């Protein structure tokens, strides 16, 4: 069933382990990537705002990327982490497959996050003063690299079949 909430079309659906949640229709991919650019630019007011914006964008991921790009936990759990100011932990959940993320904290001023981007089949690095900043940097860089490779309309990707990640397969079981 489709309805409108705050101007966004939504459907109600079940997600594994979370109960009833809102599933937002995909955002136009060009607009979605512009919002990723906003996060990458650091122009949002705080890390918390960037994480919240990222989680909302993941709910509206373009169809061609949905098998690979998603939160690794439910949106209610993610919001709870943000409410508890657990930004470093929340940021780790921006990556659908947790084993695709590694964090290097050498004791220096900058932390490095490395994401194994399964869409591009390569690693992308990000840096920041905190784990959350480093993960956000790598996450945004990964998605912007996808845009560079496949175009903002993702037309180059739509012909490829992307296997679902295990976390997405679990969600589809309910």
pTM for the complete prediction?
Answer: 0.80
For the residues 103-113, what does the mean pLDDT come to?
Answer: 86
- Predicted confidence (pLDDT) at residue 82 exceeds the cutoff of 70: yes
Confidence of residue 164 (pLDDT cuts 50, 70, 90): low
Long-range contacts of 87-93 (CB under 8 A, 24+ apart): 87/47, 87/48, 87/51, 87/130, 87/131, 87/132, 88/130, 88/131, 88/132, 88/135, 90/51, 90/132, 91/47, 91/51, 91/131, 91/132, 91/134, 91/135, 91/136, 91/139, 92/131, 92/135
Confidence of residue 67 (pLDDT cuts 50, 70, 90): confident
Confidence of residue 121 (pLDDT cuts 50, 70, 90): very high
pLDDT at 138: 98
- Predicted confidence (pLDDT) at residue 65 exceeds the cutoff of 80: yes
pLDDT digits (tens, 9 = 90+) for 6-31: 444 444 333 444 444 556 789 999 99
Retrieve residue 25's tokens.
Answer: 């229709």
3 state SS of 174: coil
pLDDT at 168: 45
Identify the DSSP state of 105.
Answer: -
For the residues 84-111, what does the mean pLDDT come to?
Answer: 92
pLDDT digits (tens, 9 = 90+) for 26-60: 999 999 999 999 999 999 999 999 999 999 999 99
Confidence of residue 1 (pLDDT cuts 50, 70, 90): very low
More confident residue, 84 or 110: 84
For the residues 85-101, what does the mean pLDDT come to?
Answer: 95
């Amino acid at each position: 069933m489709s309805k409108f909430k705050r101007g966004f079309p939504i459907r109600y659906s079940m997600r594994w382990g979370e109960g009833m949640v809102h599933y937002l229709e995909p955002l136009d991919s060009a607009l979605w990537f512009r919002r990723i650019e906003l996060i990458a630019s650091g122009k949002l007011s705080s890390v918390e705002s960037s994480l919240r914006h990222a989680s909302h964008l993941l709910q509206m991921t373009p169809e061609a990327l949905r098998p690979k790009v998603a939160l690794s936990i439910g949106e209610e759990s993610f919001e709870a982490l943000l409410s508890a100011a657990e930004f470093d932990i929340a940021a780790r959940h921006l990556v659908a497959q947790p084993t695709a993320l590694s964090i290097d904290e050498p004791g220096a001023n900058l932390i490095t996050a490395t994401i194994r981007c399964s869409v591009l089949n390569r690693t992308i690095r990000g840096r920041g003063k905190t784990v959350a900043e480093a993960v956000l940097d790598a996450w945004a860089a990964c998605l912007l690299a996808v845009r560079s490779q496949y175009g903002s309309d993702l037309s180059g990707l739509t012909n490829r079949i992307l296997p679902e990640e295990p976390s997405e397969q679990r969600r589809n079981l309910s």
